[in-house]
Amino acid sequence: MSTDLIPAIDLRDGRCVRLHQGDFAQETRYDADPVELAKEYADAGATRLHVVDLDGARSGQPEQAALIGEMQRASGLPVQTGGGLRGEAQIKALLEAGAARVVVGTTVVKEPEAFGGWLQSYGADRVVAALDVRAGEDGQFYPATAGWTEAGDQTLDTLLDKLADYGLVHLLCTDISRDGTLTGPNLGLYEALVSRGLKVQASGGVSSVEDLAVLKTIGVDGIIVGKALLEGRFTVAEALQCLRDG
């Protein structure tokens, strides 16, 4: 089974940024132009991109659609994108504008039935459930919503049981405590998710090619990497070599 590297570009006010554990008050801005960065990743061999509209995640509606479209056209890569997708009209518009996949978060948690309908309308291969989770005191993981600003009250396992009934295929899961920290991914979390038979995209904490190699061994479908690439921990070429050799 192959595992894809998926470079992540997070957008806020048209800039390339990263947040620490989803906290908008802990933002790092990078000089890289988002369109040029998308082209750079494509030239280095990346085969798809993950683009997050952080403004949309806060406002509840897409804010960076035009810029994301420009990034897709300039790079020529399939782009999966999310942030603020709360209604079917928004999803339809992004897919028609050229997005390969849409990534939906808050609605998955708050209205799983509506999300299930989108899976069936647009196809399970074009709609990704993005679940950003925090560990509770009981050891269970709980999905957060609204750009990670609101805590959910149902467990990850309970929600995934519901989504299985709708035919969920693609799951992007982020351990918020690891995101933007370069402390390594939560391997136990991803092992449990892969065991459900889902195509899992691991996100949060990747800091080295060794992390990539272990995630490939676990069997994740894709590995989303943002900060480690932006800060030069490894290059796209080095990551791709690791995933080929692993």
Domain span at 42: 4-245
How confident is the model at residue 20, as a pLDDT?
Answer: 65
How confident is the model at residue 198, as a pLDDT?
Answer: 97
Please say whether the beta carbons of 77 and 47 come within 8 A: yes
How confident is the model at residue 177, as a pLDDT?
Answer: 84
Among candidate residues 53, 55, 132, 175, the one labeled active-site is 132
150-151 and 170-175 beta bridge pairing: unpaired
Q: Angle 237-2-211 (CA atoms, 0-180°, nearest 5)?
A: 60
Active site residue 125: no
Tokens of 45: 């061999």
Give the type of residue at 72.
Q
Number of domains in the chain: 1
How confident is the model at residue 61, as a pLDDT?
Answer: 80
CATH code at 110?
3.20.20.70
One pLDDT digit (tens) per residue for the chain, 246 residues = 799 999 999 999 888 877 766 666 676 778 889 999 999 999 999 999 999 998 887 887 888 888 999 999 999 999 999 988 888 988 988 888 889 999 998 899 999 999 999 999 999 999 999 999 988 889 899 998 755 556 667 899 999 999 999 999 999 999 888 877 778 899 999 999 999 999 999 998 899 999 999 999 999 999 999 989 999 999 999 999 999 986
* CA-closest candidate to residue 236, choices 67, 51, 45, 35: 45
Strand partners, 79: 49
- Cα–Cα distance list, 88 to 42, 69, 92, 118 (Å): 30, 19, 6, 7
How confident is the model at residue 148, as a pLDDT?
Answer: 54
How confident is the model at residue 51, as a pLDDT?
Answer: 96
How confident is the model at residue 22, as a pLDDT?
Answer: 63
Q: How would you write the chain as a 3-class SS string?
A: CCCEEEEEEEEECCEEEEEECCEEEEEEEECCCHHHHHHHHHHCCCCCEEEEEHHHHHHCCCCCHHHHHHHHHHHCCCEEEECCCCCHHHHHHHHHCCCCEEEECHHHHHCHHHHHHHHHHHCCCCEEEEEEEEECCCCCEEEEECCCCEECCCCHHHHHHHHHCCCCCEEEEEECCCCCCCCCCCHHHHHHHHCCCCEEEEECCCCCHHHHHHHHHHCCCEEEECHHHHCCCCCHHHHHHHHHHC
**CA–CA distance, 147 with 22 (Å, rounded to integer):** 7
What's this model's pTM, rounded to 2 decimal places?
0.91
Active site residue 132: yes
